[in-house]
Amino acid sequence: MLKSLYSLYRSIIDKLSLLDGLAPLMFRLILAPVMIIAGFSKLNLANSELDWWQRLLADENVVAWFGNAQWGLGLPAPDLLAFLAGWTEFLGGWLLLIGLATRLVSVPLAVTMFVAATQVHWHNGWFSVAPSNPDTSAAQVFAWLGSDAAEQSLQASTEVAERLSRIKEIVEANGLPEYLYEYGHPVILNNGIEFAAIYFAMLISLFFTGGGRFFSVDHWVRKLLEPDPRYLP
């Protein structure tokens, strides 16, 4: 009986494996627009007042942020690093979108996410948006496991809730709540590593899986070059 159930399970899994390219496809569709616009915003591509070659360079404000040690990243050679970061994200995002050279491009993009997490967001903790309810905060799980940092996060959630309540009271008394809340209620930005870490994990996954069966250019290029189905992703 157990052997029959396992055989049925394996049969279903083997059939579903034909669609294992869907997961990499979804990762790519999530990551691609994020990377493209991040790179685009670092470059001068939209500045029509500059000469064509200057539009290929990094925006001067981004360069200043990369290089300034007081309010920026304090990195060496900021012009070069901002240029490389911008084009890595911009071109890499388009390659992810179509699934071309997926494994290759995932490496530098993962590096940019690692740098963003450790150099920009690390000191803000995990959450991108500060939780306002300690009972539903993901930190609760680690608090159950005895983490002091998680306990501090839960205490911060209570304080966040108090501040949000105060903001809403002020808006209700002095503002235009229907207008201000039309597209959503206010939150407190924590600016932690959450998104950078998630994107990093997704890129590492794509490095190991590739662009995915059927739904990437990589698949069809590899099928053309290596027609033996044993070698297809």
Q: Return the domain boundaries, the chain.
A: 23-127+191-232, 129-189
- Assigned token pair, 183: 């597209």
pLDDT at 225: 87
Q: What is the mean pLDDT of the chain?
A: 92
CA distances from 221 to 29, 205, 226 (A): 20, 20, 8
pTM (global) more than 0.85: yes
The answer, yes or no, to whether residue 230 has pLDDT greater than 60, is no
Q: What sign does the CA torsion over 108, 112, 113, 115 have?
A: positive
**CA gap 145, 138 in Å, rounded:** 12
Please list the alpha-helical segments (H only) found in the chain. Answer: 2-16, 22-42, 60-67, 78-98, 102-115, 139-144, 148-174, 177-180, 194-209, 217-225
Amino acid in position 123:
H
Q: Identify whether the C-beta of residue 88 lies closer than 8 Å to the C-beta of residue 68.
A: no
Q: What sign does the CA torsion over 224, 225, 230, 232 have?
A: negative
Lowest pLDDT segment from 7-11, 96-100, 108-112, 143-147? 7-11
Cβ-proximal residues to 218 (8 Å cutoff; 6+ apart), any chain: 99, 100, 101, 102, 103, 210, 211, 212, 233
**Beta-bridge mates of residue 43:** 58
Find, among 108, 101, 125, the residue nearest to 199 by Cα.
108
How many CB atoms sit inside 10 A of residue 92's CB? 26
pLDDT at 2: 80
**CA gap 96, 51 in Å, rounded:** 29
Q: Identify whether the C-beta of residue 105 lies closer than 8 Å to the C-beta of residue 223.
A: no
pLDDT at 229: 57
Q: Identify whether the C-beta of residue 150 lies closer than 8 Å to the C-beta of residue 143.
A: yes
**CA gap 28, 26 in Å, rounded:** 5
Tell me the pLDDT tens digit for each residue of 187-226. 999 999 999 999 999 999 999 999 999 999 999 999 888 7
How many CB atoms sit inside 10 A of residue 73's CB? 16
- Assigned token pair, 112: 């940019």
Q: What is the mean pLDDT of residues 4-12?
A: 81
Tell me the pLDDT tens digit for each residue of 108-148. 999 999 999 999 999 999 999 999 999 999 999 999 999 99
**CA gap 199, 110 in Å, rounded:** 8
Residue 5: band (very low, low, confident or very high) from pLDDT cuts 50, 70, 90: confident
The gap between the terminal CA atoms of the chain, to the nearest Å, is 33
Share of the chain above pLDDT 90, in %: 82
pLDDT at 15: 82
Q: Give 159 or 17, the one with higher predicted confidence.
A: 159
